[in-house]
Homo-oligomer: A and B are copies of this chain.
């Protein structure tokens, strides 16, 4: 499997003279960041993008690690045979026109060929592989439409190519660091379970996000998910949960959406977190990539706007978490240093005339309280006396070891500070509701880990060191 992400050489089969055709876009995308050897294949062309173009894969004089096929469906079997003869072990078939349009026969042919030669295949009918570290990029999306994602620990597996690429683009825009995106399409060979298993062992993946519509091999999925969830967080969006949604799945990927209740039970049992939308998928991915899981569900809220404190409290209860009962000591420490109108019980309300110093005192007191597992920190940068130094204060409070999840809504002035806070390792959300859901994800994953055999996974030690 590793060859899909770290090949030394790639052949692109079906490179057109037309710069808009998928094969050509793929060649260009690969040439942009991939540093290994690249071989375009097209019998009608001699040279393309300054590279020698080969009539067939068999004419390439060197070893080829990865082949990417983007030609008419009818021609794929023969080409795949040639890949086998060339001893290529990893092939991505971009081409559509198989099971999804009723050509199960053609897809079965591919299956037989990969079996015969011991090829591992991603696809057909997919965008294939995007690796942000090695520059492998078989997706045929023009880069001007996408925000180049920064390198990071989030990897995404998507049954749908459009969901995969849109999510990566959107994640990039939010500043999330991406490792890999794999769109696996019809899954004639490699499926979601293979990919989850691979990513669970991949050093450059810290969080696994998954979009699926249906799972064929249930037992295999359970095993892979269970193993993976003990290594790093696995978060899933399962589309097709409604009756009409399940019908829509049938005409989209031809999968059986199945009973959502069975899926939910399976996800719960395997320790996988479920997100209700792509927004939640990224919200949860962000928090779990930035913070270590919570040791329990007791939440302390610190705010400078009482209304935000109330909404956060409602959300804590709605999400099945608890508002921490702050100790007398914690409250007295704050009381001693604050004006009398500051509210020192949970939710702690520093009031709209707060300065950064009140946040320092509150964060220090609350993070020492043994009855607090997570801090939800609401910072309203609109209030008049809250100076930018609050950013340093919050980042220093990270040292206490208690996870801090931030909430701030607003325009440019707010965003400038939120960006600095996120770069320093504190995830932020625009509303108390989304912030509290992220906290719930931290707590749930903390629970998952208590059921795992062996010690804490490697990624957590990394997070604690950060």
Residues of A within 8 A of B (CB): 20, 22, 25, 96, 100-101, 140-142, 144-147, 158-163, 165-167, 169-170, 172-173, 211, 213, 237, 239-245, 247-249, 251-253, 276-279, 304-311, 313-314, 316-318, 323, 340-341, 343, 345, 347, 349, 352, 380-385, 409-414, 430-434
Tell whether, in the assembled complex, residue B140 and residue A433 are in contact, meaning their CB atoms are under 8 Å apart: no
- The CA-CA distance from A309 to B22 in the complex, in Å, is 23
Known A-B contacts: A101-B340, A242-B314. Give 5 more (CB < 8 A): A166-B409, A169-B414, A172-B411, A240-B310, A277-B433
- The CA-CA distance from A412 to B144 in the complex, in Å, is 9
- The CA-CA distance from A429 to B414 in the complex, in Å, is 21
- A432 — which chain B residues lie within 8 A by C-beta? 277
Tell whether, in the assembled complex, residue A352 and residue B384 are in contact, meaning their CB atoms are under 8 Å apart: no
- The CA-CA distance from A161 to B308 in the complex, in Å, is 11
Tell whether, in the assembled complex, residue B242 and residue A279 are in contact, meaning their CB atoms are under 8 Å apart: no
- The CA-CA distance from A132 to B145 in the complex, in Å, is 36
A181 to chain B minimum Cβ distance, whole angstroms, is 12
10 closest Cβ pairs, A-B complex: A162-B305, A160-B307, A147-B411, A252-B306, A173-B411, A242-B317, A245-B314, A163-B307, A239-B310, A277-B433
- A158 — which chain B residues lie within 8 A by C-beta? 307
Tell whether, in the assembled complex, residue B244 and residue A313 are in contact, meaning their CB atoms are under 8 Å apart: yes
Q: Among B237, B305, B410, which residue has its beta carbon within 8 angstroms of that of A160?
A: B305
Of the listed residues A249, A313, A345, the one surrounded by the most CB atoms of chain B closer than 10 A to its CB is A313
- A237 — which chain B residues lie within 8 A by C-beta? 311
Question: If the complex has contacts A145-B382, A239-B310, A316-B244, are A352 and B434 also in contact, measured as CB distance less than 8 A?
Answer: no
